[in-house]
């Protein structure tokens, strides 16, 4: 069951009916969520995966209770032992599934020789998201931000909250759990808002992202394609990954909104970013929030690092050192979190280079702008820095688009090589009308970001339109998704790009 399948829509419909049918029964909605989480895990993957997930949930649940007790009893050594032991286990669990597939394959081969068959390896659904949720949960208990959850069903409902199980966002206990525990009455505003958001998500995913995907694959899989065409494909890929990921998140947010539950926003017009640092504050914000709170600040505020930074003579660099170090560590982790392979490590280093560089070179950059009499608010300069940031990020995506590091360097080499023959876009999977639809889709994406950047949300405007105009808008959008969406038939709809993480 994929996010774009009608099975998913039927599943959501069934959950919503049950959820609101039991709205007057105190506490029943939490059980509906927990049951929906179990059902979705079973529908989307093997049932054995559910066992693995339940095991991890139980482990963190009990670790949380023990940690809470140790914290309350002010037994620091014990609480540290429980905290770091549990964190180690959770991270090791994630790392095992992310990086050690080969050990399972080795076991499979060994047992096969003895005539014992093992089931195929499957990455547990949503593992990258809920392991971070669990880490945040344990860290917040140790920081006394909240107590441990005592109700196991509630804890399970929170950790594996089904809408965000597929593509995130990463949920924090203190934001989500109170909402799960609340009783939610059916509210037309929530249903309408959620519906519009789901429509917008499917439009982005099926009409824009998957259409771009055809062209990107068409160009990059053609080994004779080189020069600007390859760079153009990577520019398109930047739009594809944005439309795909944010489209998926819109569906998730829409479903949660329909349940009267607000999740952490994951995007804030990232196309308008004027620097890589700002980009990471606008892109995958729930991951950014996690990294900032649980990795960046603990490093910056670490006494040993502060002591080390004081050894630097320059006052500015002394202050900037810990921020630089924290940025580098955070982005290397972000890179590794995105996937296995050295290309992801380099991707993280690439981001760290720009973010860390911005920390170190901040005053130099400022002085340079002043010397050149460039006003940061100058519209031409503003557009220039947006395009500059977009270009820098596009080059960074070479590392995640390629299957490995060698592939990424090959892609770079192809970009800076002139093509042997005449290259035309029309041979790459989309015809002229298809290219026009793609271009319109990208334009809509950019306009939506510009409007969002200026505080104008299209979906809010839609909800305030006259009912007939709203109906017309809904119908046009649904028809556009049905007609122009890339699904079924010859097109094997790629799963949401972030679904694999």
Partner 1 sequence: MKRFWLKVIIFILLFIPVFLYVQNVLHYRWPDDDTYAKSVDFTRQPADSVDVVAFGTSEMYAAYTPVVTYEEKGITGYNLAVENRSAITTYYQFQFMLKHQKPKIVICDFACLFDDEYALPSVSETIYRRIVDGTPDPAIRLKLIREICRVDPGQDPVSWLFPVFRYHSMWNEITADNFKWDKHEAITFEPFKKGAEAMPVHFDGEPYEITPALWETDRSPDELKEFSMHYYDMMIAECKENGIAVVGLLTPKVSDAAVYQTNYPVMQSYFDSRGVTGLNYNTYEQIERMGLSMEEDYMDAAHLNARGSEKFSRALAADLKAIFHDLPDRREDARISPSWDADLKSYHDMVEGAEAEYDQEHR
3-state secondary structure of 216: helix
From the CB of 477, what's the least distance to partner 1, in Å? 11
Residue from 303, 315, 467, 492 in contact with partner 1 (CB under 8 A)? 467
d(CA 163, CA 231): 35
Our finding on whether 474 is near partner 1 (CB under 8 A) is yes
Stretch that binds partner 1, among 70-78, 336-344, 445-453, 471-479 (CB under 8 A): 471-479
d(CA 54, CA 156): 8
Q: Which residue has the tokens 């290309």?
A: 343
* DSSP state letter for 263: -
From the CB of 467, what's the least distance to partner 1, in Å? 7
Whichever of 89 and 491 has its CB closer to partner 1, that residue is: 491
Query: Which of 358, 428, 354, 416 minimizes the C-alpha distance to 390?
Result: 354
Name the token pair of 8: 């998913």
Are the CB atoms for 19 and 182 separated by under 8 Å? no
Query: What would the x/- binding string for partner 1 be over residues 6 to 25, using CB under 8 A?
Result: x-------------------
d(CA 403, CA 187): 46
Whichever of 55 and 471 has its CB closer to partner 1, that residue is: 471
Query: What would the x/- binding string for partner 1 be over residues 386 to 425, using CB under 8 A?
Result: ----------------------------------------
Considering only residues 186 through 245, tell me which ones interact with partner 1, judged by CB under 8 A: 186, 188, 191
Residue from 372, 433, 455, 492 in contact with partner 1 (CB under 8 A)? 433
Our finding on whether 43 is near partner 1 (CB under 8 A) is no
Number of residues that bind partner 1 (CB under 8 A): 23
Query: What would the x/- binding string for partner 1 be over residues 163 to 182, using CB under 8 A?
Result: --------------------
Whichever of 368 and 478 has its CB closer to partner 1, that residue is: 478
Query: Which of 99, 256, 101, 240 minimizes the C-alpha distance to 165?
Result: 256
Angle at alpha carbon of residue 313, lines to 308 and 314, rounded to 5°: 110
From the CB of 471, what's the least distance to partner 1, in Å? 6
Cis status, amide bond into 109, omega within 30 of 0: no
Query: Which of 452, 405, 394 minimizes the C-alpha distance to 276?
Result: 394
Whichever of 227 and 434 has its CB closer to partner 1, that residue is: 434
Whichever of 85 and 434 has its CB closer to partner 1, that residue is: 434
Angle at alpha carbon of residue 123, lines to 120 and 129, rounded to 5°: 170
3-state secondary structure of 223: coil
Considering only residues 323 through 362, tell me which ones interact with partner 1, judged by CB under 8 A: none
Q: What is the DSSP string of 143-183?
A: TTSSPPP--HHHHHHHHT-HHHHHH-PPP-HHHHHHHHHS-
Name the token pair of 21: 């049918």
Whichever of 455 and 488 has its CB closer to partner 1, that residue is: 488
Are the CB atoms for 351 and 284 separated by under 8 Å? no
Name the token pair of 161: 């909250």
Whichever of 45 and 351 has its CB closer to partner 1, that residue is: 45
From the CB of 119, what's the least distance to partner 1, in Å? 20
Query: What would the x/- binding string for partner 1 be over residues 69 to 108, using CB under 8 A?
Result: ----------------------------------------
Query: What would the x/- binding string for partner 1 be over residues 477 to 496, using CB under 8 A?
Result: -xx--xxxxxxxxxx-----
Which positions lie near partner 1, rule CB under 8 A?
A: 6, 186, 188, 191, 431, 433-434, 467, 471, 474-475, 478-479, 482-491
């Amino acid at each position: 069951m994929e996010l774009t399948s009608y099975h998913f829509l039927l599943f959501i419909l069934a959950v919503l009916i049950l959820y609101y049918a039991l709205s007057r029964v105190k506490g029943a909605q939490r059980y509906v969520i927990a049951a929906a989480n179990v059902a979705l895990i079973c529908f989307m993957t093997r049932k054995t995966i559910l066992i693995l997930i339940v095991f991890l949930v139980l482990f963190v649940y009990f670790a949380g209770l023990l940690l809470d007790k140790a914290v309350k009893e002010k037994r620091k050594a014990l609480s540290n032992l429980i905290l770091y032991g549990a964190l180690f286990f959770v991270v090791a669990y994630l790392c095992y599934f992310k990086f050690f597939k080969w050990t399972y394959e080795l076991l499979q081969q060994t047992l096969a020789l003895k005539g014992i068959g093992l089931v195929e390896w499957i990455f547990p659904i949503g593992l990258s998201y809920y392991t971070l949720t669990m880490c945040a949960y344990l860290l917040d208990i140790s920081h006394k931000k909240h107590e441990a959850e005592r109700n196991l069903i509630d804890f399970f409902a929170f950790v594996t909250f089904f809408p965000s199980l597929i593509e995130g966002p990463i949920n924090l206990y203190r934001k989500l759990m109170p909402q799960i525990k609340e009783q939610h009455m059916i509210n037309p505003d929530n249903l309408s808002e959620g519906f519009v958001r789901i429509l917008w998500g499917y439009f982005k995913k099926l009409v824009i992202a998957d259409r771009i995907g055809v062209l990107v694959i068409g160009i990059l899989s053609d080994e004779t394609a080189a020069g600007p065409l390859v760079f153009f494909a990577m520019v398109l890929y930047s739009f594809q990954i944005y439309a795909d990921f944010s489209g998926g998140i819109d569906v998730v947010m829409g479903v949660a909104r329909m349940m009267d539950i607000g999740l952490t926003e994951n995007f804030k017009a990232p196309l308008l970013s004027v620097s890589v640092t700002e980009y990471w504050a606008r892109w995958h914000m729930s991951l950014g929030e996690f990294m900032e709170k649980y990795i960046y600040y603990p490093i910056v505020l670490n006494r040993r690092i502060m002591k080390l930074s004081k050894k630097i003579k320059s006052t500015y660099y002394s202050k900037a050192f810990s921020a630089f170090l924290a940025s580098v560590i955070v982005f290397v982790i972000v890179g590794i979190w995105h996937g296995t392979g050295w290309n992801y490590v380099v991707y993280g280093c690439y981001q760290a280079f720009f973010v860390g560089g911005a920390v170190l070179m901040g005053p130099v950059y400022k002085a340079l702008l002043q010397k050149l009499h460039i006003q940061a608010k100058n519209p031409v300069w503003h557009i220039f820095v947006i395009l500059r940031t977009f270009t820098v990020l596009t080059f960074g995506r070479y590392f995640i688009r390629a299957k490995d590091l060698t592939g990424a360097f090959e892609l770079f080499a192809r970009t800076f090589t002139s093509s042997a023959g005449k290259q035309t876009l029309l041979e790459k999977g989309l015809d002229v009308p298809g290219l026009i639809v793609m271009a319109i889709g990208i334009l809509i994406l950019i306009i939506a970001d510009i409007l969002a950047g200026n505080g104008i949300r299209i979906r809010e405007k839609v909800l305030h339109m006259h009912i007939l105009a709203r109906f017309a808008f809904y119908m046009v959008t649904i028809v556009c998704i049905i007609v122009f969406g890339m699904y079924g038939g010859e097109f094997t709809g790629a799963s949401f790009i972030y679904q694999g993480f």
